[in-house]
Structure 1
Amino acid sequence: MSGHEDDPAADGIEEGKRLIRLGGEKGLSLAERLQDRFHRLTWRTPIHTLRLRGRYPLKLIAVPEDPFFGDVARGNALLEGKLRFRGEERAIDTFDIARPDVSADFLDYVHRFAWLRDLSSVAPRAQAAPIAENLMRRWLHAHADTIADPAWRPDLCGRRLQFWAAHAPLILSSTDLIYRSRVLNTLARGARHIDRVADKQPIGVRRVATWAGVLTAGLLIPGGDARRAVGEAGIAKALALSVFDDGGIVSRSPRDQVALIRILTMLARTYDARRMVVPASIDAALARMVPALLGITHGDHALSSWQGGGPLTADELDRLVDGTGIRTRPMRQAREWGYQRLAAAKAVVIVDAAPPPVARVIDGGCASTLAFEMSDGPHRLIVNCGGARAAVAHLPPDLAEGLRTTAAHSTLVLADSNSTAVLADGTLGKGVAEVELTRQESEQASRIEASHDGYAKRHGFVHRRQLVLTGDGRELRGEDMLLPAGRRAPKRPQTPFAIRFHLGATVQVTQTADGLAALLRLPGGTAWQFRCKGGALGIESSVWIDGDGRPVATQQLVVSGEAAPGGANVSWALKRAA
C-alpha cells in the first residue's frame, strides 16, 4: 500500500508549487432554509401521497452483495435483543421507534437499516431473519404510512433501499405474504419519494446517497430502465459537485469520505448483481477516493483525525479497502482535499493545508487549518483531539463542541481564539479564506511551507508554518511565524499565542530541567526529543477520541508567548533519540 512513498514524483508533485484555495462561510441562506422547510412540509400533502401510489414489485430482480463486514459488537447486541450504537443501547422489545429517546446519530442508524449489516455479520440467516423481521415490522408500523422527517429524509431513504436490497433474505424470507407485500410496497414508495428530490439535497454524502437509492430501485425493481437512466445522469452530476478532482469529498471529512466510498461500492455491487457495466462516473470516483483516504493514514494503518472524524481502526480500514477491490497507494499531495502527506522511513506526517470546508457542505466542521499529526511506525506521536462528530453519545456537549476548536488541534492558537469561527449551530463562520502552500521534495528532506489569513482581520497577523521531515524520518523541524498582515496592524501591543502539540495516547512525556525541551517515550523504548526556541514550554492535560469514540486522557506540549506588533517566531524540532 505504501511501496511508492519514497518516490517524490509518484504523485506528480511539482517542486515549489504554490497552491491557493479560497474558502468562506457560505452557509445556507434564509431563503434556502425556508425553501427546505417548505419542501419537507409538502411530504404530508395529498398531492405527495398521490405521487407515491403505484404498482409494487412482487419481488426484486436480483439481490446484490454487501461487500462490507459489519460491527461484531453491535451484531452480538442484536442477538441479545438490543440495539447499540456509540455508547447508547436500547432493548428492541421496549424501544419506541415512533417516539424514540435517542440521539440523532442513533436514530439515523436505525432508519437507514445499517444494523442489517451488523446482524448478518454475526449470525446465519436462520438465526438473523427473525430478529430482522421483528425490527422491520416495528419500523413499518411506526413509519411506513407517515412520510415525515427523519425516517423519510431522502438520504436515509436512499441508504435504506441499499440495505434492504443487499439484505433482502433477512427481511423477505417470511411466508407471511401480507408482510412481504408491505415491505416491497414501502420499498417502491420510498423510490418514488426520492425520485424528484435527489437534486434538492445538500451536495456531498446526502445527495449522492439519495441518487444511489434511486439507482438501486431502478436496477432492482422491474420496469426501472427509465429511472436508472435518470439516476445515472443524476449521480454523475452529484459526484462532480461532491468529490474534488483529487478524490477528496468537498466536506473534507474523512468520516464522510468513508461513508461515500461505502455507498458507491454497494451501488457498484448492485450493477454486478445485474451483470451490468458500472457507470464510469462511479468507477472513476472510487478510483480517486480510495488513495485520497489512504493518504491520511498513519503507520498503524488507521485514519488520522480531521473535521470531527475519529481514527477509524486499521481493521475497519482494511475491510473498507478490500470491499472496494481497489489496490492503490496513499496519495501524498491532495490539492483540493487539502491534506499533505510527508513520509520517510517509519515517520508519517499529515498536514491540513487548506481552508475549512464551507458551511453548507458539513455539519460540525472544525477550525484545524495548518494542524498536523505525526506517527513513528505503529505509534502516534502528535495527534489532534478529533472525534467531534464520532464520539460516544454520552460525551458532554461542551466537550464535543470544544473538539471542533483550533485549540483541539496541533497548531498555533492566537489570542485564545479560533482561526475560523466555530458556531453553535454546528456550522463554521468567518475566518480562514486563503491558504498559500509551497512544497519541495529532495532526497535529503520533504519541506512544506504554508500560511493562512484566519487571524488577519481580527488580530492583524498571518500564521505561517514550515515543516521539514528529513529523508531518514528521524527528525521533524518546524517553525511557526506570526507576520504582520499588510495594512491590518495588530490591535494590541502584545498578542498572546500558544502552539499546541497534542500527544498520542501511548506517549509518556517528561520535561527537561531547563524547561526548553521534553522527552517523549513510546512503547518499546523508542524516544523522541522535543526542543523549542522563542516561547515557554509547558505540559498540560488533553483528551483524544479513540477509534470507538471514547475519550482518552492524554497530555499536550504547549509553547506559549506573546507577539509584538512586528510579529513573532518560534522554532522547534522533534528528533528521534533512540
Structure 2
Amino acid sequence: MAALSLAEKSRIAFIAAKRSQRASMARLQFSPLLRWRFGSASLGNLLIVPQSLRSADPSFWPELKLGHMGLAGTGVDLRGNSPFELRPPNEGWERALHGFGWLRHLEASGDFEARDLARSLTVEWTLRQRGVGLAWEPAVLGRRIISWLNHANFLLDDASVETYDAITTSLGAQIVRLAASWRDGPDGYPRLLALTGLVLANICVAGHDRHLDEIEKLFAAEIDRQLLDDGGHVSRNPAILVEILLDLLPTRQCFAARGRKPPPALLQALASSVAFLRYMRLGDGRLARFNGVSVASPAGLATVLAYDDLFATPLAAARESGYVHLARGATTLIADAGPAPPFEFAADAQAGCLSFELSAGPRLIFVNGGAPAAADQDWRAQARATASHNTLVVNETSSAKLVRHKGLEALIGGAPIRGPQNVTSKVEEVNGDLVWTASHDGYLGRSGLIHHRQITLSASGSGISAVDRLTGAETALRLKSDLPFAIHVHLHPEITCRRGTIPGTAEIITPEGQVWFFSAEGAELNIEEGVYFADSSGPRRALQFVLRGATFGDTTVSWKAEIRA
C-alpha cells in the first residue's frame, strides 16, 4: 500500500469536502421546502419516447422463462422467486437489475408474455421501493429513468389503468428525486449518466421542460469537464465513451425532435468522441485494452461508429488522452503514453504506462491482459498490475502505485492509482517508418530509474523493432545492488509460439498460419504462461515472452518482431 503524500492527503480532503457539500445540497434540494422547484411528482404527457441504441440479447427472454436471469455477466437462478426478493450475487448485478436496462431484451422478444412480465416486475418494483439504498443512487436512478423512457410504449400502451398509474406516478417522483440528488454521486461517468437521465426527462416529459434551460447548462458544463478536447474521457478508459455515446446520441435526437438546438458542448463531444473511438481500434475493429477496457460488446461500438452524420474528422493524435496510434500496411499499434488520471477518475485505471497492443489485419498478436468482467473481479488487482501489460517491470513492482484509502475508495468507487508523474512521448516518420519515443518516471522514486522506450513500425507494416532502456534521471547511475527487470510481451490466447533454433529467438504462429520471428538482445528470452482477462468466457490462459535481466542502473534491451511467412 502506497503511503500518502501531503499533497495527496490534501486532495483526498478536498474530494471528501466537495462530496459532502454535494450531499448536503442534494438533501436540501429534496426537502419539502425546495422540492416543489422541480415540478410535480405526477407525470405529464410523454412528448417524446427516446430511442434505445443498446442491442438486445435474444437469449435473455428464453433463459428468463426457465428461471435464469443473467445481468452484468452474472447469472442467477430465480427458483420461482421475483428477482427483487433475492439477495444480489454482486453489486454489478444489483445495479443492472435496478437500472432496468433488461427491458430492451423483453421488448425485442416480441412476446406478449414478456411484455406482461415486464409490466408486472416494474409495478412490483414501485411497490417495494422506499427511496433508499443502491437503487436510489443517482447513476442507478438516472439509468432507470432512461430505461423507462426508452421503453415507455412497451410498458404503457394498452396497459390497465392501475398499471399505467403505478408506473407513471413512480416515474414522475423519480424525476423529481433525480433533479434534487444528481450531485450526490461519484465523480466521472456516474454523474454524467445521472445528468443525462435528467436532461432526457426534462425534454421528454410535459411539465418538466420548463427546467430544461437550467439543466442544459449543467449538462453542457459536465460534458466539457469530463470529455477532453481530443474526444477521450478524463478517466482514460476508452470503453466508457461507448456507454456515454449510447446515451448522448439519442439525447441529441430528442433535442432536435423538440425543435431545440442541442448544446454546442454535446455536438462537439459527439464528433470528437466518435473520432477518438476510431483512433483506439485495432485491426479486429475492437478497442485496445487500456485502463479498464474489458469484455465489450462489439455491437455497441459499431452502433456509435455508424453515426456518419457527425462528420467526425479522423484524429491525428490523442496527446491529451495519452495514446499513440501507429499504422502501416495491415499492421496497427496502439500505445499508452499518458500519466494516471486524477484520483477521482482513476478507480479503474491500470499501471500500463508505455504498454502497447498490435494487430496484423484483423488478427490480434500482442495484447494487454485487459480488465476482467464484472463476474471475475477477484482478478482485478492482477489485471491492473504492470506485469499484465506489454511493458517493462522493475523489481517485480508496478510503475504505478495502488492507493488504498477506505474513505477515498468509498468516494470514487474503487482504489485509484498514482504515477507515473512525468511521461514524454513523440512520434516521428523516418524514411516511411513510424518511430514512437517515450519515457516515464514511475520507478524514479523507488529505484532512481527512468524507463525509456522506442518502438519503430516499419514502412511496410511487416514488423516492429524496439529498444527499452533504464537510466538515471540526469547522470549515469550505479545502484547499490542490481535490480531484476522483466519486459513482458503478452500474446493473444489464440496465438501460439515456440522457441527458435537460434538462442534468444522464438516463432509466433497465428491460427491462419502466419509466422512472426521474435528476437531479443540484452536480456534472456523466456516463454511463460500469462492470463488474458478480457474474454467473455472469463480469464483465459495465454502465453507471453518475458525478457528477464538485472540492471545496475543503465541497461539497454533490444527486441523485434517481424513477419517471416
1:303 matches 2:291: no
Q: Which residue of 2 aligns with 1:9?
A: none
1:172 matches 2:156: yes
Change (3 A) 1:383 1:438: same
Separation (CA, whole Å) in 1 of partners of 2:71 and 2:476? 49
Given that 1:88 and 1:106 are in contact with CA atoms closer than 8 Å, whether structure 2 keeps it comes out as yes
Q: Which residue of 2 aligns with 1:384?
A: 368
Change (3 A) 1:312 1:170: same
C-alpha deviation, 1:324, in angstroms: 7.5
Given that 1:64 and 1:272 are in contact with CA atoms closer than 8 Å, whether structure 2 keeps it comes out as no
Change (3 A) 1:538 1:253: same
Change (3 A) 1:427 1:169: same
**Counterparts in 2 of 1:115-126, with a 5 A limit?**
115-121=102-108, 123-124=109-110, 126=112
Deviations 1:187-219 (A, max 9, x none): 222222222343454443122212112211211
Please point out which of 386, 389, 393 is paired with 1:413: 393
C-alpha deviation, 1:328, in angstroms: 4.7
Q: Which residue of 2 aligns with 1:345?
A: 329
1:132 matches 2:96: no
Change (3 A) 1:330 1:422: farther
C-alpha deviation, 1:30, in angstroms: 4.0
Please point out which of 53, 60, 70 is paired with 1:67: 53
C-alpha deviation, 1:230, in angstroms: 1.1
C-alpha RMSD over aligned residues: 2.7
Q: Which residue of 2 aligns with 1:103?
A: 90
Separation (CA, whole Å) in 2 of partners of 1:434 and 1:549? 37
Structure 2 unaligned blocks of 5 or more: 1-6
Q: Percent identity?
A: 26
Separation (CA, whole Å) in 1 of partners of 2:289 and 2:476? 33
Q: Which residue of 1 aligns with 2:346?
A: 362
Separation (CA, whole Å) in 1 of partners of 2:380 and 2:509? 29
Deviations 1:7-39 (A, max 9, x none): xxxxxxxxxxxxxxxxx9689624643764686
Amino acid at match of 1:412: L
Separation (CA, whole Å) in 2 of partners of 1:488 and 1:516? 28
1:292 matches 2:276: yes
Change (3 A) 1:215 1:102: same
How many residues are paired up? 547
Q: Which residue of 2 aligns with 1:29?
A: 12
Amino acid at match of 2:104: R
Separation (CA, whole Å) in 2 of partners of 1:300 and 1:26? 43
**Counterparts in 2 of 1:34-433, with a 5 A limit?**
36=19, 48=31, 54-91=40-77, 93-97=80-84, 100-121=87-108, 123-124=109-110, 126-143=112-129, 146-173=130-157, 175-310=159-294, 312-322=296-306, 326=310, 328=312, 331-388=315-372, 391-393=373-375, 395=376, 397=378, 399-424=379-404, 425=409, 426-433=414-421
Change (3 A) 1:384 1:156: same
Structure 1 window deviating more from structure 2 (377-386 vs 124-133): it is 124-133
C-alpha deviation, 1:70, in angstroms: 2.3
Q: Which residue of 2 aligns with 1:576?
A: 563
Structure 1 window deviating more from structure 2 (131-140 vs 272-281): it is 272-281
**Counterparts in 2 of 1:487-498, with a 5 A limit?**
492-498=480-486
Separation (CA, whole Å) in 1 of partners of 2:276 and 2:391? 23
C-alpha deviation, 1:491, in angstroms: 5.1
Tell me the SS of whatever aligns to 2:285: coil
Given that 2:192 and 2:222 are in contact with CA atoms closer than 8 Å, whether structure 1 keeps it comes out as yes
Tell me the SS of whatever aligns to 1:147: coil
Separation (CA, whole Å) in 2 of partners of 1:91 and 1:396? 20
Given that 2:436 and 2:455 are in contact with CA atoms closer than 8 Å, whether structure 1 keeps it comes out as yes
Change (3 A) 1:373 1:56: same
Given that 2:325 and 2:332 are in contact with CA atoms closer than 8 Å, whether structure 1 keeps it comes out as yes
Tell me the SS of whatever aligns to 1:504: coil
Deviations 1:33-58 (A, max 9, x none): 37646866997899636755734124
Separation (CA, whole Å) in 2 of partners of 1:38 and 1:199? 9
Higher helix share: 2
C-alpha deviation, 1:95, in angstroms: 4.2
Deviations 1:428-457 (A, max 9, x none): 343201111121125511111010011101
C-alpha deviation, 1:128, in angstroms: 3.2
C-alpha deviation, 1:550, in angstroms: 1.7
**TM superposition score normalised by structure 2:** 0.90
Separation (CA, whole Å) in 2 of partners of 1:324 and 1:141? 43
Tell me the SS of whatever aligns to 1:94: coil
C-alpha deviation, 1:547, in angstroms: 4.5
C-alpha deviation, 1:569, in angstroms: 0.5
Structure 1 window deviating more from structure 2 (465-474 vs 100-109): it is 100-109
Change (3 A) 1:112 1:549: farther
Separation (CA, whole Å) in 2 of partners of 1:129 and 1:521? 50
Structure 1 window deviating more from structure 2 (42-51 vs 106-115): it is 42-51
Q: Which residue of 1 aligns with 2:449?
A: 461
Tell me the SS of whatever aligns to 1:505: coil
Tell me the SS of whatever aligns to 2:84: coil
Change (3 A) 1:39 1:141: farther
Separation (CA, whole Å) in 2 of partners of 1:320 and 1:480? 37
Given that 1:291 and 1:329 are in contact with CA atoms closer than 8 Å, whether structure 2 keeps it comes out as yes
C-alpha deviation, 1:255, in angstroms: 2.2
Given that 2:351 and 2:417 are in contact with CA atoms closer than 8 Å, whether structure 1 keeps it comes out as no
1:537 matches 2:525: yes
Please point out which of 461, 484, 505 is paired with 1:517: 505
Deviations 1:287-308 (A, max 9, x none): 0001111211111111111112
Separation (CA, whole Å) in 2 of partners of 1:271 and 1:127? 34
Given that 2:123 and 2:166 are in contact with CA atoms closer than 8 Å, whether structure 1 keeps it comes out as no
Change (3 A) 1:207 1:308: same
Given that 1:373 and 1:383 are in contact with CA atoms closer than 8 Å, whether structure 2 keeps it comes out as yes
Separation (CA, whole Å) in 1 of partners of 2:11 and 2:89? 27
Separation (CA, whole Å) in 1 of partners of 2:202 and 2:158? 24
Given that 1:496 and 1:560 are in contact with CA atoms closer than 8 Å, whether structure 2 keeps it comes out as yes
Deviations 1:458-503 (A, max 9, x none): 1100001101101110010111110112379665321110000010
Query: Which is bigger in relative contact order (C-alpha 8 A, separation at least 6)?
Result: 1
Change (3 A) 1:232 1:35: closer
Given that 2:271 and 2:311 are in contact with CA atoms closer than 8 Å, whether structure 1 keeps it comes out as no
Amino acid at match of 1:419: S
Tell me the SS of whatever aligns to 2:439: strand
Given that 1:303 and 1:313 are in contact with CA atoms closer than 8 Å, whether structure 2 keeps it comes out as no
Q: Which residue of 2 aligns with 1:18?
A: none
Deviations 1:210-254 (A, max 9, x none): 211221121122123331101110111001110000000000112
Tell me the SS of whatever aligns to 2:546: strand
C-alpha deviation, 1:562, in angstroms: 0.8
Please point out which of 467, 481, 487 is paired with 1:499: 487
C-alpha deviation, 1:315, in angstroms: 4.1
C-alpha deviation, 1:392, in angstroms: 4.6
**TM superposition score normalised by structure 1:** 0.88
Deviations 1:49-84 (A, max 9, x none): 675573412431221221332233335434544320
C-alpha deviation, 1:141, in angstroms: 2.3
Change (3 A) 1:181 1:487: farther
Change (3 A) 1:489 1:536: same
Structure 1 window deviating more from structure 2 (173-182 vs 369-378): it is 173-182
Amino acid at match of 2:31: H
Separation (CA, whole Å) in 1 of partners of 2:8 and 2:493? 33
Structure 1 unaligned blocks of 5 or more: 1-23
Given that 1:78 and 1:119 are in contact with CA atoms closer than 8 Å, whether structure 2 keeps it comes out as no
Given that 1:79 and 1:131 are in contact with CA atoms closer than 8 Å, whether structure 2 keeps it comes out as no
Structure 1 window deviating more from structure 2 (235-244 vs 414-423): it is 414-423
1:438 matches 2:445: no
